[in-house]
Amino acid sequence: MKHYEILKKYLTEFYDLKVEFEDLEIVNEYWIVEPFVKAVVTMDKSFKQKYHVIEPKLSIAELNLISSLVSDLKRILSLRDVSIRLEDRAEILVSNVKKLLKDYAVKTEGTFFTRMLYYLFRDFFGYGVIDPLMQDRYIEDISCDGYEIPIFIYHSKFGNLETNIRLERMQLDRLVMKLVQRCGKHISISNPIVDATLPDGSRLQATFSTEVTPKGSSFTIRKFTTDPLTPTDLIIRKTVPAGVMAYLWLCVEYKLSAMIVGETASGKTTTLNAILMFVPPDAKIVSIEDTREIKLMHENWLAQITRTGIGETEIDMYDLLRAALRQRPDYIVVGEVRGREAQTLFQAMSTGHACYSTLHAGDINQVVYRLESQPLNVPRSMLQFLDTILVQTMWIRGKERHRRTKEVNEILGVDPVDKNLLVNQFVKWDPKTDGHLEISAPRKLEKIAEMLGYSLNEVYEELRRRKEFLELMARRGITNYTRFTTLIHSYYADPEAAFDELKG
């Protein structure tokens, strides 16, 4: 979005983006970035909805001129150097465009200079033809399944929609290579599948050519907000109730380990990132991920990512986790448990480290089955070192997707007689009322009370105060993660002063 903000200062004249659709009803239209690009959702007679990206129109002559400019600019400029400020790179681009136009003996008239700069900024500083989709705040997922196939999106208001964007073979291959290069990785015929993270934090899965996807190169982008969602965001969205969030706050502070589980796209990583904002400011965190998704405002935080072995030694989660244990962290975060690193993670829990991770599973029984089976192979005797398991789900109502914490479970130990895991489920979500029910008392509060030498009533009182603090933040609309983290740190330093600051 920033490159379009810079572009506004080069506006010469505004142009009209109004488009008429024959035999189509316009359901909704809005600016993606005013006044450069807008989105229009239409519906045909069969009630099929479609998403249209509306960009400035170009004549054939204008298109050919821009193509020549792009070729010459790529030859003489390198605008990908992120060490140079975007504003300075934009200035370099514009000055060179003016110079080339002078060399071409071309004089731009009317709105053409602005329209031309839009496409140059979009391609040099954005994501090319899909940049409007990346900028649209209502789009959650973007997927392309092959050559000449429409790109599809998931729109937060309208669900799955076909777009008016189709890419031919050369265009799609180039776009996939560009996306992967933006992630600092490589894709080719010999290495045709890549999972990576884009600079803005979005998750990319891409394939190249027809080696593994017969319809051609493909990509799926799961967009992430620039600023991560905070616990107050999750409370406001009814994903996690305030009482459960206050409980998790106590668990994080007193180093009780937790795992967030759920199906694909149920918001596991989002919730994990949110509860990590409760980590005390003086603690040391080490995070281990395949693709970088955790984002925290924490000074003593070492973020590590795995490396696939293409001409280099492969470094997986197990290697990074073993190294992390030698660094004396207070908190260990594993983005997602998939393999042999699971045993090491549970060994870390057993030695007093606070460990947090995600796992693909639909309920508590599936969690136990997956952890005990290949390739994780965690002994049942070690599962008792995991304190809390949150089960998340994606709930579809109409065309809208909602994330909900389906249940909150506490692991109390292993039955010495039948070796069954002792589980206390104390919160359950009811889809009929879309509300969370507390069906029993949280038992881990007894562990915290014993640890601190407090009475159970004192711990419950602290839980109530923290719930009140979070609800007050939610009512005040404090969702910025920097502001949220600052207030949590203030609470650790002086709870009364933090309350006064929030109320004032």
Q: Which of 365, 368, 298, 373 is nearest to 333 (CA)?
A: 298
What gap in Å lies between CA 66 and CA 116, rounded to an integer? 7
What gap in Å lies between CA 81 and CA 185, rounded to an integer? 16
Residue pair 399/427 in contact by the 8 Å Cβ criterion:
no
What gap in Å lies between CA 375 and CA 385, rounded to an integer? 20
Per-residue confidence (pLDDT) for residue 200, from 0 to 100: 82
Give strand ranges (E) for 214-281. 218-222, 258-262
The CATH label, of 3.30.450.380, 3.40.50.300, 3.40.50.11240, 2.30.130.30, for the domain at 1-17+55-126 is: 3.30.450.380
Per-residue confidence (pLDDT) for residue 81, from 0 to 100: 61
Instruction: Convert the pLDDT of each residue in 397-432 to its tens digit.
Output: 877 789 999 999 999 999 888 888 999 999 999 999
Which residue shows structure tokens 């973007």?
142
Query: How many CB atoms lie under 10 A from the CB of residue 282?
Result: 11
H-helix segments, 184-237: 231-236
Structure tokens at 311: 């001409």
Give strand ranges (E) for 457-498. none
Q: Which of 93, 27, 26 is nearest to 66 (CA)?
A: 93
Query: Is a pLDDT exceeding 70 seen at residue 309?
Result: no
Enter the DSSP assignment of 311. S
Structure tokens at 28: 């909704």
Q: List C-alpha distances in Å: 401 to 28, 428, 429.
A: 19, 19, 16
Residue pair 53/39 in contact by the 8 Å Cβ criterion:
yes
Instruction: Convert the pLDDT of each residue in 272-298 to its tens digit.
Output: 999 999 999 999 999 998 877 888 889
DSSP string, 60-75: HHHHHHHHHHHHHHHH
Write down the pTM of the prediction: 0.81
pLDDT bracket for residue 252 (50, 70, 90): very high
Share of the chain above pLDDT 70, in %: 97
Q: Do domains 1-17+55-126 and 128-226 have the same CATH topology?
A: yes
Per-residue confidence (pLDDT) for residue 344, from 0 to 100: 92
- Tell me the angle at which helices 495-503 and 481-493 cross, rounded to the nearest 10 degrees: 140
The fold for domain 128-226 equals Beta-Lactamase (3.30.450)
Q: Any idea where the domains of the chain sit in the sequence? A: 1-17+55-126, 128-226, 231-503
Q: Which of 474, 449, 470 is nearest to 460 (CA)?
A: 449
The fold for domain 231-503 equals Rossmann fold (3.40.50)
